[in-house]
Amino acid sequence: MRKYIEKFTEGILMVSSSITTIIVLLIIIFLFREGIGLFNDTGISDDYKVAVNKNNSISTLSAKQIKDVFNQDITNWKQLGGKDESIILFGINEIGTYYSEEQLGANFEHMPEKVNEFVSKHPGVLAVFSQKFIPKNFQGKELHIHKISLTKMLFGKEWYPSSRPAALFGILPLILGTLWVSIGAILIALPLGMATAIYMAEIANNKVRNTLKPIIELLSGIPSVVYGFFGLIVIVPLIQTTFNLPVGESALAGSIVLGIMALPTIITIAEDAIRTTPRSLKEASLALGANKWQTIVRVCIPYGASGITAGIILGVGRAMGETMAVLMVTGNAGVIPHSFLQPVRTIPATIAAELGETAVGSSHYKALFVLGAILFIITLIINLMVEFVKGKKRILSNNS
């Protein structure tokens, strides 16, 4: 009977682990499947058409070039490789300048005719209209718009996913903002967390340890919005006053808040790992003439390296994936950061702020899933790097 119970228990555990693995794989597949469709889009709204005069030598443009034209950063076709001729913008907002309401019709029934007429008469025109306003016998030339590429997305410096008619999905500022805040958080949390873990595991007496441990573990249960509120009310004004800044929302504020949030995870796991060092190993070290600190550095920490590494990885994951607290204290400016005192925008905060407002299946929606996939890849790379360093240290310790 006992044998059957053990077999049944093993079967349940195997099924549970298999289901968990399958669910994780399905989530990853869903993430990449939803995002991959972005690279078949152009950044132009699906119902918009971009057209020029049929004699215009330009046949292809990118979404960024169209945005620069509408922002008046590009005003001549020569800047786009065409003739030395001024660009005449012609869209739904400009058509009232050239035609009266009577000419367009009460219900805009004459608009396709006027669009056709204007494009055919003006060699320098750049027309951007909804497809329903482009007539079947259109006498202009529809431009081919470059599709979004992974390279341009990764190295693009402008994130304007909802701009019209051309959306830009440059995520370099978001990646750098995420790394900037996360690295700052780890630089704050790792030394403080390791110092506290060593103190609690090897130096503090039982009374101090039993008092500190539940307090530290309680910190991990505080909602992230509370940390964000604390950062917004206390840390942000302090940074603004200390460094005489126009605003205190910055990468430094995000790093401090995330560092505080990562501390309980690092301390708890690292302290448990260090305390598992067998008493015989520590006594052997002391018997060979090592003092207490040498024993901690040479014996306890190497023995608990796997647990310490797990704590670091979980702490990094907390910092990399945090949304609400970062959203509240970093300023959410999609610019490339050059110092910790600048506002930044992170990938998780962008997803949290924008996903609820996007249409399912739109380019913006797909771009947010690409951001999620990139965040997953960044976290995976960091975890692999930590495991690689840990493996190197293990090999060196064995050789020595």
DSSP calls for 225-269: HHHHHHIIIIIHHHHHHHTT-S---SHHHHHHHHHHHHHHHHHHH
**Interatomic CA distance for residues 42 and 146, integer angstroms:** 6
Tell me if 346 sits within 8 A of 378, measured CB to CB: no
172-399 has the same fold as 48-147: no
Sign of CA dihedral 189, 191, 194, 197: negative
User: What single-letter amino acid sits at 88?
Assistant: I
Domain locations in the chain as residue ranges:
48-147, 172-399
Question: Does domain 48-147 correspond to CATH entry 3.40.190.10?
Answer: yes
C-alpha distance from residue 119 to each of 52, 59, 101, 128, 383 (Å) = 7, 15, 19, 11, 56
In 3D space, the residue among 285, 332, 337, 324 whose CA is nearest the CA of residue 176 turns out to be 337
Alpha carbon 269 to its chain centroid, in Å, reads 26
C-alpha distance from residue 251 to each of 3, 225, 255, 331 (Å) = 58, 17, 6, 8
**Interatomic CA distance for residues 333 and 342, integer angstroms:** 9
CATH class of 172-399: mainly alpha
Phi, psi of 45 (to 5 degrees): -55, 140
Tell me the pLDDT of the chain (400 aa) as tens digits.
777 888 888 889 898 989 989 998 999 999 999 999 899 888 887 778 899 999 999 999 988 898 898 888 999 999 999 999 999 988 888 888 888 888 888 888 888 898 899 999 999 999 988 888 888 888 889 999 889 999 989 999 999 988 878 889 999 999 999 999 988 998 999 999 999 999 998 888 888 888 888 888 888 888 888 999 999 999 999 999 999 999 999 999 999 999 999 999 899 889 988 988 888 888 888 888 888 888 988 888 888 888 888 888 888 777 778 888 898 999 988 889 888 999 999 999 999 889 888 888 889 999 999 999 999 998 888 778 777 766 655 554 555 5
**Interatomic CA distance for residues 348 and 124, integer angstroms:** 43
| pTM to 2 decimal places | 0.85
3 state SS of 141: strand
